[in-house]
Structure formats: structure tokens, C-alpha cells
């Protein structure tokens, strides 16, 4: 045995050195891989937390904004201003986190643009509220622009959060591979490796449980905020409908006052002038001529009063019905504007409020047509179907781009709200050089 000791030692020593080298290599490799994986997981967790925090800050800013718009109380601007400042800081943090990753940085750029647009939309409505421009901020609030930007923010946040989760999963998989390699290659450190792996699992489970609890809490808060936003939006819609009804009541009251009081005064004045004219006839030709001019002026005033009263509250609607009222409206518009108007009107079953809604829609459409369409012909139609009624106004004018409508397009917004308040749906179809078609679908009276 002794004669083989030296060769055995000569072999065993290089093997021992090789085993030691392999042990050190595996240990160092495992260390660096585990360190990189843990850093990647921590970065992914920080990224996901920052994304969730950003989404919550946007919701806080929206809540503060809507609270200020609804109440006008400047105290609501404090959480709004705080949230907007925190959003910019959080965006800077996320930009640094995504800087090494080109794909995620591109996705973050889209998220940042949507957040900037959302902040601009909220800032615009807040400034309009400060300037007491009620029509402007109410219009901004009733559009779908804020909702579209919020949906886009949620979608981009979910995409970035999913990439962070994948990064965490990749880090976890890397650690598992490293631990498995350590178990196979390092028998001496097997127990320590198993213990470390077990402790890591406990820590990961605790982190995941904490994240799930935080996510559940954030979800509950988000659901509560969305419920509040929906309730407040519904309250605004009810308020707008109430104001619209009040406006119609005031117009009806003013129409009655003009008809009863001013109409009586003009008629009495006309009778007095007629008496004077009959007494002075043949005696004072110049006075008779002036009295005739005065009579013509009073007739013009009576006609103007009648037209104003009809515009305020069409009496034909209650006395003659919707079809006759629309026919009269079309003929008068044709006389005033010089446009050729065709009508295709059927008798429909609508209550008084819905009839007024249709009348106002047609009236506003014709008014807008005269102002902006540069049309030569218009078509007004009213048709009866099973369960619903359609009203439509078309022209052959220059049309417009639907996406070019700005905050000043109150006419279309008012028509849309009026039709939707009656349980219907308004559709606007237009293109440059191809005219405009405005149609409403309303349910029949039950």
C-alpha cells in the first residue's frame, strides 16, 4: 500500500484542489446569481409598488378634482395639489427604474403621456371652475375624455405590473436553479442550503402575503372611490336634468308673460291707432300716413312677439301635436334661411316631455345648420317603430371632423344630454364635404 501512497496523493491532491476550485466556483457563482436575483426581485417589487402608488395618486387627484368641481370648496384642492405633486415625483422614480429596460421604458412613456393628459384634463376643469366658467367645466366633466385616459392608465399600469411580476418570477426561478445546483455540487453545504432555501421561501411567502393584503386593500379603496365617482357623476347628471327642466319652465313662464302682457299691450296700442286713423281719415293725410306706418310697426312687433314666444315655448306642440309643430318649424326655417327643407313625418306615440325633446333637437340642429353647415338642402324625418321612435335631421353641407369638436360645442352636448335624460340615444355622423346627420332614438310612451 505504501508504494501507491505517493501516486494516490499525487492524484488526490489535484482532485482535492480541483474539487476545492469547483466548490469555490460553484459557491461564487451561486452567490452572484442569488444576489442578482434578489436585487431583481427587490427592484420588481419596488416597481410594482410605485405603479400601484401612481394609480392611487391619480385616483386621489381625480377625487379631489371632482370634489372641488361639485362643491367649489378650495379645501378639496389640497389633496388634489398634493396628489399631482406626488405623481410627478413618482413618475421620476419609475423613469429611473425602467431606464435600463428599453421595452418597459417605451411602455412607461405611453403611461406617462396618458397621465399627463389626465392631469391636463383635470387642470383644465379646475381652472374653468376657478374662473366660474360653469358651462366649460361641466362639459369637460360630462365627456368621456377623463374616463378614456383613466382606462388607458389602468391598462398601461397593468402591463407594467405584469412585466414586474414576470421579473419577480424569473428571479425566483433563478434562485431555485441556483439552490438546486448548490445542493447537487456542494454536499457539505446541503443542509445550510436547504435551511437558507426554506428561510427564503418563508420570507417570499411573507412578502407575497403582504403584497396580496396590500393589493386587496387597494382594490377595496379603488372600488369605493369608483363607486363614489359614479354616484357623484350620477348626481351631476340629475342636476343638469333639473337645470334643464327649470330652464324650460322659465321659458314657458316667460312665453306666457310675453303672450299675455306684451301681446295685450301691443293689441291695445294697435286698436288705439286704428281708432285715431278712422277719426283722422281724410282730414290729415300726413297724420294718416304716419298712423299707417305705426300700424305696420305694431304688426311687426306682434309678429316678432309671436316668433319669440314660439321659440321659447312652441304653443303648436300642445295644440297641434309634434308632427304639425315640426312641419311649422321646418317651413319657418325654410323661409328665414332660404334652404330647401323636406319633411317625412309620421305620427308617433310620445309623452309631452319626449315630444319637447324631439322638437328641441330638431330646432337646435336646424340652428346649427344655418350657422355652420353652408348647406343647400335639409331633410327632417320622424318615424314610428315597434317600441321606439326615431328623429333625424340631415344636411348636404360641408360637414366636420367629429374628433375636432372642442369644449365650445355646447349645442351637441346639450342635445345629447336632453335625449339621454329621456332614455334615448343620440348619434352624430359627419365628415368633411359629406354633410351631417343627427339622429335620436327614443322609447315610446308606456
**Tens digits of residue pLDDT in 97-138:** 878 878 777 887 888 888 888 788 788 888 888 877 777 677
pLDDT tens digits, residue range 59-80? 887 788 778 777 877 887 888 7
Instruction: Calculate the average pLDDT of the chain.
Output: 77
Task: Please state whether 216 falls in left (phi above 0), alpha (psi between -120 and 50) or beta.
Answer: alpha
pLDDT value of position 379 = 92
Q: Alpha carbon of 81 to those of 68, 106, 134, 255, 367: distances in Å?
A: 12, 28, 21, 47, 42
CA angle 200, 204, 206 (to 5 degrees): 115
Please list, in sequence order, all residues whose beta carbon lies within 8 angstroms of the beta carbon of residue 394, skipping any fewer than 6 positions away.
378, 379, 381, 435, 436, 437, 438
- The predicted pLDDT at position 381 comes to 92
Q: What is the pLDDT of residues 332-390, one digit of tens each?
A: 888 888 888 999 988 888 887 888 888 888 988 888 888 888 888 999 999 988 888 99
Is the predicted pLDDT of residue 169 greater than 50, yes or no?
yes
- Say if residue 407's pLDDT is above 80: no
Residue 408 is predicted with a pLDDT of: 46
Closest CA to 128 of 407, 414, 415, 416: 407
Closest C-alpha among 232, 239, 230 to residue 417: 239
The band of 446, judged by pLDDT with boundaries at 50, 70 and 90, is low
Strand bridging mode 377-384 / 340-345: parallel
Residue 324: which pLDDT band, with cuts at 50, 70 and 90? confident
270 to each of 51, 264, 276, 289, 382, how far by Cα in Å?
76, 10, 10, 15, 40
CB neighbour list of residue 93: distance below 8 Å, 6 or more residues apart: 50
Do 175 and 34 meet the contact criterion of CB atoms below 8 Å apart? yes
User: Could you give the strand order of the β-sheet that contains 436-443, starting from the edge strand earlier in sequence?
Assistant: 340-345, 377-384, 388-395, 436-443, 425-430
In this predicted model, which residue has the larger pLDDT, 25 or 75? 75
Average pLDDT over residues 183-197: 61
pLDDT at 57: 79
Residue 405: its pLDDT value, please?
Answer: 63
At 354, list the grid cell: 319626449
pLDDT computed for residue 392 by the predictor: 92
Q: Give pLDDT, residue 1.
A: 41
At residue 283 the predicted structure's pLDDT band, cuts being 50, 70 and 90, is low
- pLDDT for 237 equals 61
Cβ atoms of 393 and 367 closer than 8 Å: no
Alpha-carbon distance 65 to 71, whole Å? Answer: 10
CA distances from 172 to 37, 85, 184, 197, 213 (A): 7, 35, 19, 11, 20
pLDDT at residue 189, as a whole number: 54
pLDDT at position 87: 83
The more confidently predicted of residues 219 and 51 is 219
pLDDT of residue 393: 93
Question: According to the model, what pLDDT value does residue 380 have?
Answer: 93
Share of the chain above pLDDT 70, in %: 76
Residues in the chain: 446
Amino acid at each position: 500500500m505504501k508504494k501507491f501512497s505517493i501516486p494516490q496523493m499525487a492524484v488526490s491532491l489535484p482532485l482535492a484542489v480541483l474539487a476545492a476550485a469547483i466548490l469555490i466556483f460553484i459557491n461564487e457563482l451561486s452567490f452572484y446569481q442569488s444576489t442578482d436575483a434578489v436585487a431583481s426581485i427587490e427592484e420588481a417589487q419596488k416597481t410594482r409598488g410605485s405603479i400601484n402608488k401612481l394609480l392611487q395618486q391619480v385616483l386621489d387627484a381625480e377625487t379631489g378634482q371632482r370634489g372641488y368641481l361639485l362643491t367649489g370648496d378650495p379645501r378639496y384642492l389640497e389633496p388634489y395639489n398634493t396628489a399631482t405633486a406626488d405623481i410627478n415625483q413618482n413618475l421620476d422614480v419609475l423613469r429611473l427604474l425602467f431606464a435600463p429596460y428599453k421595452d418597459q421604458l417605451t411602455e412607461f412613456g405611453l403611461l406617462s403621456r396618458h397621465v399627463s393628459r389626465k392631469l391636463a384634463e383635470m387642470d383644465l376643469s379646475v381652472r374653468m371652475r376657478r374662473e366660474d366658467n360653469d358651462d366649460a367645466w361641466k362639459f369637460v366633466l360630462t365627456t368621456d375624455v377623463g374616463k378614456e385616459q383613466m382606462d388607458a392608465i389602468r391598462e398601461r399600469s397593468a402591463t407594467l405590473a405584469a412585466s414586474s411580476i414576470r421579473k419577480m418570477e424569473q428571479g425566483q426561478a433563478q434562485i431555485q436553479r441556483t439552490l438546486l445546483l448548490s445542493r447537487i455540487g456542494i454536499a457539505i453545504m446541503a443542509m445550510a442550503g436547504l435551511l437558507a432555501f426554506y428561510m427564503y421561501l418563508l420570507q417570499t411567502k411573507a412578502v407575497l402575503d403582504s403584497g396580496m393584503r396590500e393589493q386587496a386593500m387597494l382594490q377595496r379603496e379603488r372600488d369605493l372611490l369608483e363607486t363614489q365617482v359614479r354616484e357623484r357623476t350620477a348626481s351631476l347628471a340629475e342636476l343638469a336634468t333639473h337645470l334643464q327642466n327649470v330652464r324650460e319652465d322659465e321659458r314657458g313662464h316667460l312665453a306666457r308673460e310675453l303672450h299675455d302682457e306684451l301681446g295685450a299691450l301691443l293689441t291695445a296700442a294697435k286698436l288705439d291707432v286704428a281708432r285715431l286713423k278712422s277719426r283722422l281719415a281724410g282730414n290729415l293725410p300726413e297724420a294718416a300716413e304716419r298712423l299707417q306706418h305705426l300700424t305696420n310697426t305694431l304688426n311687426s312687433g306682434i309678429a316678432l312677439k309671436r316668433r319669440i314666444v314660439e321659440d321659447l315655448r312652441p304653443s303648436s306642440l300642445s295644440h297641434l301635436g309634434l308632427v304639425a309643430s315640426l312641419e311649422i318649424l321646418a317651413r319657418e326655417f325654410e323661409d328665414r334661411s332660404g334652404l330647401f327643407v323636406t319633411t317625412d313625418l309620421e305620427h308617433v306615440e310620445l309623452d309631452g316631455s319626449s315630444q319637447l325633446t324631439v322638437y328641441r333637437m330638431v330646432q337646435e340642429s336646424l340652428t346649427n345648420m344655418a350657422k355652420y353647415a353652408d348647406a343647400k338642402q335639409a331633410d327632417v324625418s320622424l318615424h314610428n317603430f315597434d317600441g321606439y321612435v326615431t328623429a333625424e335631421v340631415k344636411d348636404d353641407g360641408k360637414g366636420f371632423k367629429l374628433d375636432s369638436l372642442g369644449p365650445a360645442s355646447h349645442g351637441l352636448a346639450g342635445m345629447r344630454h336632453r335625449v339621454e335624460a329621456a332614455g334615448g340615444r343620440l348619434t352624430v355622423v359627419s365628415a368633411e364635404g359629406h354633410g351631417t346627420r343627427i339622429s335620436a332614438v327614443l322609447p315610446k310612451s308606456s
